[in-house]
Structure 1
Amino acid sequence: MMDCVFCKIVNNELPSYKVYEDDLVLAFLDLNPVSLGHTLIIPKKHYQNIFDIENKVLKRIAKVSKIIASKLKENLDDVSGVNIFQSNGKTAEQVVMHYHMHIIPRRKQDNFRINDCLKSLKLEHNQFKDILNKIKV
């Protein structure tokens, strides 16, 4: 995709700090990190989100996420955990419309509180059952 910043990184049209690369995926340091070592993993081929990415690419991204998370924990000071997430669609606050996964190293005093934005809904039994009936695989 011509205007995609991540496609430009894949094609070496824009610089990046590459952490990992193979035939399917590329991982690089986020230029706007929320934590030192914040890394993005992307497919080399343009997929907008999880709804159109191929399973084999998704599996590779999952495998690479574990490798990178382990490296971050083992080799960066005070890293004791990681957040791994990705967003799909504008409603979910996806900013770059190229599938990407965030690997965010966490430290005790990093002041990044993901749970602050997660508010629980109070649902009744029948609401759970209704949802279950609609999405159960």
Structure 2
Amino acid sequence: MTRHGHECVFCRIARGEAEASLVHGDDLVTAFLDINPVTPGHVLVVPRRHVASLGELEDPEAARLMLVGRFVLGALRGGAVRCEGVNLFLADGEAAGQEVSHVHLHVFPRFAGDGFALHGDWSRFPPRAELDALAARLRATLP
């Protein structure tokens, strides 16, 4: 990919240079159907500007990304597709599962038996002192 994302598929879609089934577009973000959907109606919301990580977004871009995600959620819940719930998913970094190096928010409808599952060890309950110490470290680094 070039420095400015000219070979990035999401940049090409945002510029209208690559084929996509558009759902929304404005000056900050664009939303389109995922070509490899988790479920029918799976939408990606991406900033128009090439940015690899969520932390690199300007505040208005980050806010618009989530707001448009919420609008799409409303449309999905409004009956356009089978939808009993919605997941919002954003992977930041390769270790988190990010496959395209351009920030993208997944918005996908869920329904009983859709075959999608988040896997993890949800059985660990750290002691309160450990949680409080971690919370203090996080607070110390917040802007």
Residue 51 of structure 2 contacts residue 103 of structure 2 at CA under 8 Å; is this kept in 1? yes
Shift of 1:128: 1.2
Find runs of 4+ consecutive structure 1 residues off by over 2 angstroms. 75-78
Gaps spanning 5+ residues in structure 2: where? none
| RMSD over aligned Cα atoms | 1.3
Q: Does 1:95 align with 2:99?
A: yes
User: In percent, how many aligned pairs have the same letter?
Assistant: 31
The answer to whether residue 10 in structure 2 is matched with residue 6 in structure 1 is yes
SS in 2 for 1:42: strand
Change (3 A) 1:77 1:12: closer
Aligned to 2:134: 131
SS in 2 for 1:113: coil
2:43 maps to what in 1? 39
Cα distance between partner residues in 1 of 2:10 and 2:128? 43
Give the superposition deviation at 1:39: 0.2
If the length of structure 1 is used for normalisation, what is the TM-score?
0.92
2:114 aligned counterpart, secondary structure? coil
Could you tell me how far 1:77 is from its partner in structure 2?
4.0
Partner of 1:105: 109
Q: Scaled by the length of structure 2, what TM-score is found?
A: 0.88
Letter in 1 for 2:77: K
What is the rounded CA distance, in whole Å, between the counterparts of 2:64 and 2:39 in structure 1? 24
Aligned residues: 135
Where 1:59 maps in the other structure, the secondary structure is helix
Aligned counterpart in structure 2 of residue 118 of structure 1, from 117, 120, 128: 120
Letter in 1 for 2:126: L
Is this contact kept in 2: 1:26–1:43, CA < 8 A? yes
> Residues 78 and 108 of structure 1 are in contact (CA less than 8 Å); yes or no, is this contact kept in structure 2?
no
State the partner residue of 2:69: 65
**Hey, what does 2:87 align to over in structure 1?**
83
Deviations 1:66-110 (A, max 9, x none): 111111111334311100010111111111010000001011221
Cα separation, 1, equivalents of 2:81 and 2:94: 34
Measured in 2, the distance between the counterparts of 1:76 and 1:110 equals 16
Q: 1:129 to 1:91 in 2, by over 3 A?
A: same
> Is the 1:49–1:99 contact (alpha carbons within 8 Å) kept by the matching residues of 2?
yes
Q: Secondary structure at the match of 1:51?
A: helix
